Structures are given as C-alpha cells and as structure tokens.
Structure 1
Amino acid sequence: MVFKWREKKRREEEKSIAHSLNFDDLKEELKDSLKQSDDLAFHKIEKEHHHILIIYLENIINTDQLHQHIVKPLERTADEPDPKSIANNINIGKISVTNRLIDITEAILNGNAYIYAEGQPCGVLADISEKASRSLEKAETESLVFGPKVAFTESLSTNMNVIRTNINDPNLCVEEFVLGSRVKTKTYLIYIKDIAEEENVNTFRQRIKDLEVDSIMDSSVLAQMIEDNSYTVFPQLVTTELPDRFSISLLHGKIGILVDRSPQAIIGPSTFLNFFESTEDIYMRWNMGTFLRVLRFIAIFLSVLLTPAYVAVLTYHYEVIPSSLLVSLGESRSKVPFPPVFEALLLEFIIELLREAGARLPTKVGQTMGIVGGIVIGQAAVEAGFTSNILIIIIAISALGSFTAPSYAIGTAVRIIRFPVIILAGLYGGVGIVFAFSFLLIHLLKLTTLGRPYLSPIYPLTIADLKYSLIRMPFQYMGKRPEANSTIDSEKMKAKKKTEKKDVDE
C-alpha cells in the first residue's frame, strides 16, 4: 500500500497541463486539483484575436496589484500573448513560467496568480500574495532593559529583512528549504560562510533534508525534530524572538534557522550554559553582566536544591538544624498533619497551578490571579494547618529562582526536575539528593547538541570559552570567537583597549 501511494504521488507530481488546453479544460483541472474551493477565482480578458485567463485565490492576493500591475497592462497591450510577452508586460517582480499542474497549484496556494493565454504551451506565475502579518513589536518573552527591543514576527520576509539589516555582510549565506508534504513551509538556513564550521552546517542541512512530515507549524516543532535526544527534558537548541541575539550568535560561528509563520528563530549548536545567557549581559558593563550571570546560576541551583533539602532535613537529618531554628521549625509544623514530602509536593503543585493559570488568562487578569491567588492560598494553607510558614518562604524562593533563566524552556525544565528530586529526598534523605544530582550530571555529560558536547566549555574544559558562558570579560579580552564553535575565521577584534592616554600629536 505504501508503495502504491508513493507511486501515485510521483505520477501526480509529474503531471503537466497539456499544451494548448482550452479554458474550460484548464478550469476543470485546477478545480479538481484544489478540491472545488469556492474562493478559487477566474478573471478572463477578452480581446479581438486572443483571450487570457487569470486564476488566483481571492483571500490571499493583493487585489490592487492584480488590477494595477496585471489586468490593466494586459488589457492595453497589443502584443501576441505568448508567455514571454506576458512576462514583459506585467509589472510584477517575482514571475516564473511553467505548465506543471503541481507547480501551478502550489503557487496559487501561496498567493500567485496564474496567467494563461489560450493555445499557448505554458503560462506565467506572478507573485501577488498578501499574507496576514503584524508589524515589528517589542519582545515579550525575552524582555530587556538595555539593547534593541524589536522582536521577530510571523513574516519570514520581515524577519529576513531585520537580519540583513543587522548583518550587512556579503558572506551571510541563506539556504532555502520547503518542508511539509501537505502544508508547505518555507525555511531558511542562515550562517556566515567564512565563520561557521562546515560540519555544523552540513549537520543542520542533512537533518532538515531528512524530515518527512505533513507540516511544520512552528520553529519550536522543527527544533524538537532535529535535536539529538528527544527523550530528555532539557532543550538542546536555543529558540529566540530577539534578532540581535540571533545576529550575535551568527557572528560567533553558530547557525540559525528561520521558519515561515513562526515568530522565533532556532540557534545551534547550543550548550547548556547558552540558555542562561542574555544579550543584556553584552550591553551592560562587564562586571554587571558577570554578576547577573552568576546570580542566575546560583538561583537555578537553589531552585532545584532548596525544597528537597528542606524535606531531607526534616525527615532524616534533624541534627544539622541549629537549636535556635529547631524550636521555630517545631512550632511552625506543630499543626501540620502531613509528612514534609507530601507538604512540599502539595505546595509545588499549587505554585504550578497558579503559574499555568496566570499564563493562560488575559494579561491583567493573569497578573492579579498570580499575586492574589498566591497570597490568599498561602495564608489560608498556613491557617488551616496544611503547611508551615518556612516552607512557603522556601517554595517562593525556588519559584523565583526558576524564573531568572532568560529561556522559558530551561526554566520549565528546572521546575519539572524539582518534583523527582523532592520525592527522592523524601525517600532517602541526603543520599537521595546526591543520587539525583549525580544522575543529572551524568545525563548532562552524555547529552550532545548537533554532535557537540552539551556541557561545553565545562566538559570538555575550554578555559578560553568560559568568558562567553560563565562570566563576561571586558571586550579587549574577547578578541577570539568561542573555540567550541570551531569557527573558520576565529578572530573578531585585533586592537586591544589602550590603557594609557596619548596626546593628539603623538
């Protein structure tokens, strides 16, 4: 059955409109191809010695362009309407000549008009598409204080315009792919020719070419399809809505992907530490940027550790609690009937419910829901004896720590990881926490991103790259591009910052 389906599909792809078709036959061919769609329109131009038929879908074309640049010029011209003269008379930038039915159908679905003169061997496709899109707006999920605020949109041409504006380098290469057997989605593979390593480019290119799917609805879907490990909770390719982050990554030797109808771009190969970086670190002074990066790492570590540590200490390790704190802990938990592990899981679950409800509700209602819901539920839980005051403080700190990650995907991964670590801490105490962190470390060491180590530059250790990940050094010490990207042109800045003043005449 699979062979017959593929053979039928191959025959359909090879099918062409017969030479010298009359208009009625052509209409029937295209109506059958587009399943009798009611928005398929036909505009006929009748002249003394010849007739021209224009075919298009009403809802996805620019009607002004149709009438001003196609219909009127063809009505005025006295030339014989062969494909060459039609192409010369219409004022459209993107045109092509074809007689293959599958090409005509796909082009019409993408906003092209098919112009056919009766009796001619082929017709002309003119791109007059008008796709729904929004203008460039401020980034929402990756908000910044410093630096450009503009974000990608769902329009591929608009996004490419922004990238070309940011990087006006002739070595910027753009490779086009069309993904999806049912819903055709245009995709751009973007890299800088004399910087990006060819092996990384080939890996991206091959994984995109190997995809056989009905449709790619968003760049995040494509990222999951081409990543190395689909079973891990950790994302292996960065997705961003910031053109400046995308541009900086290309200049560092990475490869990017833009997907039509998606407001986010893919960057790779991406390491674990890349998900904690923000372009704001570059726009700030180096010491401020370093402080913020270190703060994020500490916050994420505490987010995973604090609640399990509370459960382990209260369940198995009372001796590590200072005597002065032990009294207040005992008083706080005196009315709580549940074991610490159940208490912690209950509060974590409530926090996740509040977060999800706040994200799904309208903006103003969601903010109110998060604040009021957290205060009311927390206070009510303490008064009812479901939990202790100290655990509410710990849960709040853990939740805040997970929100410090610039990447929403890695923040969600951290929140998921907390649950099994809490369970292990409740079952085995400190040994369970050590086991959980050891398992996570081994798992991260085994992960790869496009065949590259996921924990780079920590493993394998590359000291020169630490200034691009763990810390942010002054620019005079960042003259080389990251070694992990294996860039062809590794030098990006030659002159070091001068520390001595010079007179003008020196």
Structure 2
Amino acid sequence: MKKRTNKFKNSKKKGEFPIVIDQLEQSVKDQLHDEANLIFKKINVQNKNILIFYISYLIDKKRLDDNLFTPLLYSETEWSTSNLVDNLPIGDGKQYQTVEEVCSQIISGSVGVYIENENEIVTFSILNNQQRPLEKPERESIVIGPQAAFSESLETNLNVVRASIKSNELVAEKFTIGSRLPTEVRLTYLKSLANDEDVQTMRQRLNDLVVDDIEDSSVLSQYLEDSSISIFPQFYLTERVDRFNYSISKGKIGVLSDGSPEGIVAPTTFFGFFESTEDVYFRWNIATFFRMLRFIAMFISFILTPIYVAVVTFHYEILPISLLETLGQSRSKVPFSPVLEVLFLELIIELLREAGARLPTKVGQTIGIVGGIVLGQAAVDAGLTSNVLIIVIAMSALASFTAPSYLMGSAIRVIRYPLIIVAGLFGIIGVTFGLCLLIIHLLKMTSLGRPYFLPVYPFVFKDLDNSLIRLPFGISNKRSISYRLKDDTRYKEKKSTKKKDIDDLGD
C-alpha cells in the first residue's frame, strides 16, 4: 500500500503527465479506494492507446456508446487531447492535469478519457440523472397560481428559474461547499435590482463556510443565519418555484442547493412568513383580508391557551357569571390544575400531529381526525379535562396551521409552552412579561443584517403595503424601500393608469 500511495502522490503533481496508462489506472483506483463499479476500457485507435474510465452506475450508458465510443472507434480523425473536446458530440469537455481533479469529476458522473503520451486528461459529463420530475407543492398549497415545486436536481431547478425569469440580469454564482462531501450551491439574484451589500454578505458567508457536508437547504440556512440560537427562522425556505421567482423579482437573494427540493430566500422579515404568493393572485381587498386573518390566527395560536390558564387560575373574576358557571361545572371533576390540564391536551395534539405526519398520507389523515375525536371525547368522559378546554385547544391548533411557512408555524407552536407555564405561575402578569421578552427578542433580530421586524421597527410607512396589507396595483407601484434596492419602481404609475379613448390609440 505504501508503494501505491507514493506512486499516486507523484502522479498528482502538475506536469507529471504524460503518464503510462497502467500507472494512471492504478492511481485512479487508489484515489477512489478500489471502487467496485469503476470501469476501465482500453482501446487502440490510429496506433494510439486510449484509456476510458468511469463509474458504471453514474453514467448514461446509451449516451456513452453513441457519443463517445462510436466516434472514437469509427472516426478517421487522429485523436489528441485538443480535438477530443472539439470533435466529440458530447459537449461539456474539461481538461485536467492532476488525477485528483479528474477523480472529483468521475464521482460526479463524468467519464475520463486519456490518450497516452498526452499532457492532460479530458472529462465529459454523462450523468445518468434519475431525479424525480416537478410535482405539486405539498407544504405550501395554494388554490390560485402555478402548481410547480422544486425537485432534488439543481439543474432542473435552475432550468425552471431561468424559464420564468427571462433576463440576462439573472445571476447564478456557483459555490462548492463541503470539504468531505462537496455540494454545489448557486447564489441567484437580479444584477440590476438586488442590493450589492446583501449580495456581498451572502457571498462572504458562503465562501467562509467550512463544513464536512450540507444535507439540505434547511441545514445550509441554519449555517448562514444571523443567529443560530433563536427559535425563529431568519431565511424563508420555500418549495414553490413561483414564490422563489417572485422573491427574486422583488430584489431579494435566492440560494439553491444540489439535492434539496427547497430554495432559500433572504433577507426576510417576521411578517414575510405570513405572506403567500396567493396574495398576489387574489384581488387586493381579498388578499388583505386573508393576510390579516393569518396575523390574527398567529396571535390566537400562542396566546389563547396561556390566557385560559391565567384566567382560570388567577383571574376568574373577569369572566361573565354565566360563562363562569359553565366553566365551573365543566371543571368540577377534573383533578388537575389548569396548567397541567392544558399541557396534557397540548401534548396529545402534538402526538397526533407528529403521528399524522410520519404515517402514510391516508393513514395519517385517519389518525389525525379519528384520534382527535376519540381521545378528546374519552378525556372529557374520564374527567381528565373540560369541554371548554377542548374547544380552546382546537382553536389554537387550527390557528397554527394558517401560517404559510411550516418553520414559522412550528416556532409558534413551541413558544406556546413557556407562555403556558408562566401563565400558570404568575397569571396575566407572567403572560405580559413573556410577550414583552418575545417582542424584545424579535426587535433585536436581523436577517442578513437587515432588521427582522421591518416595517414596524424601524417604522417605514411606505412598506406597510408590502408586508401587513396589500394595496391595489394602481397605488402600490414601489418596491420595498427598506432593502435599498437599485430600482424601487415596479412600474410607471401615471402611464399605467391613464385612460385612452379608441381614437387616441393610434397616436
């Protein structure tokens, strides 16, 4: 083994070529640790020995035969390294001078071709891409609008992004991240629109990231976020192609990772997680209603059960007499304190949610519906909880599902538990104190260096229509000014709204 290692190290040096074919074969085997599916083909064309090597399960064998072996064997061309790239009908030919560089291409689905006594090795990408096609989004479903989600293929994802954004201003910078398991990452943005400072910040974070590997875009976003301690996501992860493209067209930055069916959008705000691309497709008044409904539902989701605990434990005098009597009768047989009762039911809801998500789709839906009804009714009959609390828990659970972002919905679900505990210990004062800490935390957060709570803090009146509400297109003709884009005008308001008679159309 020592002799093999020394031989391979010598072959990696610049200028080591030309090299004997047998020595090159042994060096490739050593570099790839004697990969079982590593294939070597030696052919002789025009009195020249040619070595072709590849990993069999990564290669499209039909393209290999039609575009490589057939031209090499049956052409009268006198082959050399220079005319291999120009004359073979494959494309994407690259030349390398080290075995290490060639092997990094071989494990990515390329074929290596070496002509004896030449100074370089040529590789051609003939990857047998077995990725799934584009499908409908599962976590970000909408009624109106495009129904396409990203796949695990980076090439496919870049293809659909380019197909939607037909502009030479679209930039897709290439990065390779992962010292042990390299992964290709693309930084995408519009050159004429995106803020240069934001682009440079993301570029620097990608360049400075040194890790063994990144499993998914969600893992990459955690490495790139401003604060890894916060429970709130600072970048928006989307599986929707139209959401990604819409964000790019608004001047934001996108990151796509090979092997991940999600794209990263940055920078983003807390309120951006409650926006949906469906808001653009609906009329402005309907979209504003739905957006406000999501904000209200978010507030209900994490405040309703803590308020219930606080009122029942300390502040029952604020309830109307009729409601207090009903609540008293409902809780008369419950042996637990309100905080334990709420935590017990919340735990059941979380178990049902996780079971429904992990089981097959049809079985999961049945478990979620039937399990909720059966367990809820059984808990009331057994005296473990009250009827009123069942309604409160159900409303809180339903409200948490209205967030378009699954990550934000999960964060809101977790926030509910510390608020329930402080409500059981200190009542309304504890809930108020917990909310104050939560707001302070949100005010201090940033996303790619930009304030996370924009446009509320710092307050930017002109950006309210891009976050909290949606105004008609005739009024909202500006992009967000908070991100200091190169061009903040979406369209010319006067020209777009000016009415013309039919006699004026020829002018």
Which of these residues, 430, 433, 450, is aligned with residue 428 of structure 2? Answer: 430
Q: CA deviation at 1:46?
A: 2.2
Partner Cα separation in structure 2 for residue 117 and residue 66 of structure 1: 17
Match of 2:220 in 1: 222
Distance 1:497 1:422, change over 3 A: farther
Partner Cα separation in structure 1 for residue 475 and residue 493 of structure 2: 10
Q: CA deviation at 1:495?
A: 3.2
The code of the aligned residue for 1:72 comes to T
The code of the aligned residue for 1:287 comes to N
Partner Cα separation in structure 2 for residue 15 and residue 142 of structure 1: 51
CA contact (8 A) 1:253 1:486 kept: no
The code of the aligned residue for 1:95 comes to G
Which of these residues, 444, 460, 466, is aligned with residue 468 of structure 1? Answer: 466
Matched residue pairs, number? 497
The code of the aligned residue for 1:355 comes to R
Match of 2:3 in 1: none
CA contact (8 A) 2:11 2:27 kept: no
Q: CA deviation at 1:47?
A: 3.3
Partner Cα separation in structure 2 for residue 55 and residue 382 of structure 1: 69
CA contact (8 A) 2:356 2:363 kept: yes
Match of 1:301 in 2: 299
TM-score (norm 1): 0.96
CA contact (8 A) 1:16 1:101 kept: no
Q: CA deviation at 1:132?
A: 2.0
Match of 2:400 in 1: 402
Residues 269-295 of structure 1 deviation map (CA, whole Å, 9 limit, x = unaligned)? 011001000000000000010000000
Distance 1:13 1:252, change over 3 A: farther
Match of 1:482 in 2: 480
**Which shows bigger deviation, 87-96 or 41-50?**
41-50
Which of these residues, 243, 247, 250, is aligned with residue 249 of structure 1? Answer: 247
Asked whether 1:167 is paired with 2:171, we answer no
After superposition, where does 1:132-281 map in structure 2 within 5 Å?
132-281=130-279
Cα RMSD over matched residues? 1.6
Amino-acid identity (%): 51
Distance 1:501 1:104, change over 3 A: closer
Distance 1:370 1:315, change over 3 A: same
CA contact (8 A) 2:95 2:121 kept: yes
CA contact (8 A) 2:217 2:257 kept: yes
Distance 1:499 1:194, change over 3 A: closer
Partner Cα separation in structure 2 for residue 17 and residue 317 of structure 1: 83
Structure 1, unmatched stretches of 5+, are 1-7
Residues 122-143 of structure 1 deviation map (CA, whole Å, 9 limit, x = unaligned)? 1211111112201111111101
Partner Cα separation in structure 2 for residue 86 and residue 451 of structure 1: 48
CA contact (8 A) 1:152 1:242 kept: yes
Partner Cα separation in structure 2 for residue 400 and residue 12 of structure 1: 65
TM-score (norm 2): 0.96
Q: CA deviation at 1:17?
A: 7.6
Which of these residues, 335, 352, 355, is aligned with residue 354 of structure 1? Answer: 352
Q: CA deviation at 1:220?
A: 0.5
Distance 1:13 1:216, change over 3 A: farther
Partner Cα separation in structure 2 for residue 425 and residue 181 of structure 1: 48
Distance 1:13 1:233, change over 3 A: farther
**Which shows bigger deviation, 85-94 or 108-117?**
85-94
Partner Cα separation in structure 1 for residue 200 and residue 177 of structure 2: 17
Partner Cα separation in structure 1 for residue 495 and residue 288 of structure 2: 19
Partner Cα separation in structure 1 for residue 500 and residue 248 of structure 2: 36
Match of 2:55 in 1: 57
Structure 2, unmatched stretches of 5+, are 1-5
After superposition, where does 1:312-391 map in structure 2 within 5 Å?
312-391=310-389
Distance 1:229 1:23, change over 3 A: same
Q: CA deviation at 1:165?
A: 1.1
Match of 1:5 in 2: none
CA contact (8 A) 1:273 1:469 kept: yes
Q: CA deviation at 1:13?
A: 11
CA contact (8 A) 2:10 2:16 kept: no
Give the match's secondary structure for 1:387: coil
Q: CA deviation at 1:348?
A: 0.4
Q: CA deviation at 1:484?
A: 1.5
Q: CA deviation at 1:183?
A: 1.2
Match of 1:3 in 2: none
